[in-house]
Amino acid sequence: MLGACALALGAGAQPPPFNPWGDEVLYFVLIDRFADGDPSNNIRVERRNPGGWHGGDFKGLTQQLDELKDLGITALWINPVQRQQPRGMYAQAPAKMGLPEFQHEGFHGYWIEDFEGIDPHFGKLDDLKSLVAEAHRRGIKVLLDVVYNHTGYTSNVASRRTAGGESWVRIGEGNCEVAPVTCAVGGLPDLKTELPEVRDYVLGANLALAKSSGVDGFRLDTYKHLASEFWAEHRRRTRAELGPRFFLLAEFWGGSAQVLDPFFERDEVDAGFDFSFKGSCEGWVSGRGRSVAYAAYLRNRHQVRPGYVVAHYLSSHDEPMALGNLDGNRARFRVCAALQMTSLGLPVIYYGEEVARGGHEWPLNRNDMPWGERDIQPGKGVARDESMRAYYKALIQLRKERPALRRGDYTMLTQPPDAVLAFARRDAASGDQAIVLAHRDDRPASADVAVPASWPAGDARDALSGERFAIDSGRIKLQMAPTSVRVLVPAGN
């Protein structure tokens, strides 16, 4: 239980010095699928079952923090960690995968049985506190996924009633397209958070966990399925009890800078997921649509309210993975990774993307972290692409070094031929600037772009390859290799 004794334990190491979340690189981990550091908590582990527990835990993730630090990530998002419903739910995997019916457990964390307890598969509260403290020691913030909308299918919370006899939940009610706040998402018992008793319970449990563990913020699950009044109260309490810098990232399905703006205007959250980035990049690198249209899309992403952040990703636990959508074409995937790291917002890496983790549609978009020959379960022996990881590492380092890539403005550049995308980023505060060129075709192309008037005198340098290019009469002419990206910066810095 997360009561006074748990709170007295404190939050461990102090959080890293404050850095704007738009400057961070966020890494999302499904704990059970990442690394097994404590075999003693491997309760009902069935690694051949794609819906079962596989053994990853807090200790395993803590042991691999140096792996993430070396990659360059600065923030870690972990799935909900409260006690999950007991065994007993079944689901049918997509028939086209050739998978038999499997036992579907709450390894993902979204089927909460007890909001006031930690699931023993992940470890104990002290293990979570140690994970957060060790992450902070490495300059990594920790974002905890929390659920307010629903419980697990068989949760004991679903049997509770108010003093007046009203059930705490709605069972199987409503159409989520018509009544998103009062529907039962996925058939899960819908918490009646409009009732003060229910609202206070789920708010108190999640805030107590944040206090005791020392996390730096929440990822808010199923944001559109709770009323704005709830989120206003949530914002007031998190600021009062967890501090003004406690970060709130909303999962509003279908979100974009424009869709999220009403929530930003009401200051309910600090950030929201940009659901448009993934499909837009997959479409462009696959040859769908003109480059000028995609360039305009990237420009429109900058229409986010000042002081708020959109988080963009390529893969998630709820959608088919980008590499699978691209039919395993790693060159195209690399182009999208580069565009993610050179675009405005908070880039989110889904665990294992950086080593070309396999898997595509659910449930295989939640498979094990590949560890190759390293003696780390559950993904020991699963092949990983170290060259992809090196590429990600270089992109992340470049993003850290160049303020223009993190928070600069955006200028579309002329880009003949159409297969080449070109845009410029400039950070007015530092004067830093860069030109991004992305080529989607599988044959070489010549690019001829005009540099912005603010570009300093002298040559340009590709920050990824080190090659230098002359600027002649305000233009840069260069060759683009098949399916490639260049990030040009002034050669003098």
Amino acid 86: pLDDT: 83
Amino acid 4: pLDDT: 34
- pLDDT-derived band at 173, boundaries 50, 70, 90: confident
Per-residue pLDDT reduced to its tens digit, 177-225: 999 999 999 999 999 999 999 999 999 999 999 999 999 999 999 999 9
Per-residue pLDDT reduced to its tens digit, 276-312: 999 999 999 999 999 999 999 999 999 999 999 999 9
- pLDDT-derived band at 97, boundaries 50, 70, 90: low
Amino acid 492: pLDDT: 81
Amino acid 174: pLDDT: 83
Is-contact 271 247, C-beta < 8 A? yes
Per-residue pLDDT reduced to its tens digit, 212-246: 999 999 999 999 999 999 999 999 999 999 999 99
- Nearby residues of 297 by Cβ (< 8 Å), 6 or more positions away: 276, 280
d(CA 148, CA 167): 16
Amino acid 469: pLDDT: 96
**pLDDT at 94 exceeding the cut of 70:** no
Domain definitions of the chain by residue range: 4-401, 409-490
Q: Is 133 helix (H, G, I), strand (E, B) or coil?
A: helix
Q: Is 192 helix (H, G, I), strand (E, B) or coil?
A: coil
Mean pLDDT over each residue of the chain, to the nearest integer: 93
d(CA 484, CA 249): 32
**pLDDT, mean of residues 105-134:** 97
**Least reliable range by pLDDT among 87-91, 175-179, 294-298, 348-352:** 87-91
Tell me which of 457 and 107 has the higher pLDDT.
107
Amino acid 172: pLDDT: 85
Its pTM stands at: 0.94
d(CA 125, CA 413): 52
State the CB neighbour count (10 A cutoff) for residue 310: 29
Amino acid 418: pLDDT: 87
Amino acid 13: pLDDT: 61
Beta-strand pair 409-412/112-118:
unpaired
Amino acid 415: pLDDT: 66
**CA separation, residue 115 to residues 2, 118, 180, 208 (Å):** 9, 8, 23, 10
Q: Which two tokens stand for residue 180?
A: 């998103």
d(CA 118, CA 419): 51
Amino acid 457: pLDDT: 86
Query: Degrees (nearest 5) of the Cα angle 311, 315, 382?
Result: 135
Please spell the DSSP secondary structure of 413-482, one letter per residue. Answer: ---TTTTEEEEEEE-TTT--EEEEEEE-SSS-EEEEEEPPTTPPSS-EEETTT--EE--BTTEEEEEE-S
Question: CATH assignment of 409-490, given 3.40.1010.10, 2.60.40.1180, 2.60.40.10, 2.40.400.10?
Answer: 2.60.40.1180
**pLDDT at 92 exceeding the cut of 60:** no
d(CA 184, CA 379): 34
Provide the percentage of residues in the chain whose pLDDT is more than 90: 87
Rg of the chain in Å (alpha carbons): 23
Amino acid 417: pLDDT: 76
d(CA 44, CA 347): 35
Per-residue pLDDT reduced to its tens digit, 11-62: 456 766 677 999 999 999 999 999 999 999 999 999 999 999 999 999 999 9
Of 143, 130, 147, nearest in space to 206 by CA: 147
Find the length of the chain.
493
**pLDDT at 5 exceeding the cut of 80:** no
**CA separation, residue 287 to residues 284, 294, 420 (Å):** 5, 11, 11
**Least reliable range by pLDDT among 97-106, 332-341, 412-421:** 97-106
**pLDDT at 357 exceeding the cut of 50:** yes
Is-contact 369 35, C-beta < 8 A? yes
Superfamily for 4-401? Answer: Glycosidases (3.20.20.80)
Is-contact 313 271, C-beta < 8 A? no
State the CB neighbour count (10 A cutoff) for residue 320: 17
**pLDDT, mean of residues 429-444:** 97
- Nearby residues of 267 by Cβ (< 8 Å), 6 or more positions away: 235
Helices (H) and strands (E) in the chain, counts: 13, 22
Cis, peptide link before residue 20, omega less than 30° from 0: no
**pLDDT at 7 exceeding the cut of 50:** no
Amino acid 158: pLDDT: 85
